[in-house]
Amino acid sequence: MKLEFLNRSENESFARVAVSAFITPLDPTVEELTEIKTAVSEAVSNAVIHAYKEDEKGLIQLECKVDSERRVIIIVSDHGVGIEDVSKAREPLYTSKPNEERSGMGFTVMESFMDKLEVVSGTDEGTRVTMLKKLDKAYGI
């Protein structure tokens, strides 16, 4: 599945629903589905808040696929301002907007709910967040 949508806050819920609808036929546990939806929300929210500096005409891309081992791979990307220091941005409680009500926990939440998180970004090159979650861990499969 590949989607592209405008950099608007209301599209965060759209992304959650789209990913949920895509993986529901795989019969994930409620916990798996909740964790994936939360991670997608965080990734899209980060793009909405940071990528385009309040320009709601920027685009966010969402890709979701499942491999033969029931691993869900989700990619959220933008062509925005990028992240100057990815390592710093991934630190818990770090926020580039301290004057706003931001917790600085987005990447930490993504990392805790997914099995793998990769963030690739460059200044003025945009950001690509790749998340992986193996389904059926609750069943020991």
**Active site members:** 42, 46, 102
Whose CA is closest to 47, among 133, 128, 130, 131? 128
Q: How far, in Å, are 67, 93, 113, 139 from residue 108 at the CA level?
A: 25, 9, 9, 25
Per DSSP, 96 falls in state S
- The encoded tokens of residue 58 equal 């920027």
Contact 45, 102 (CB under 8 A): no
Per DSSP, 52 falls in state S
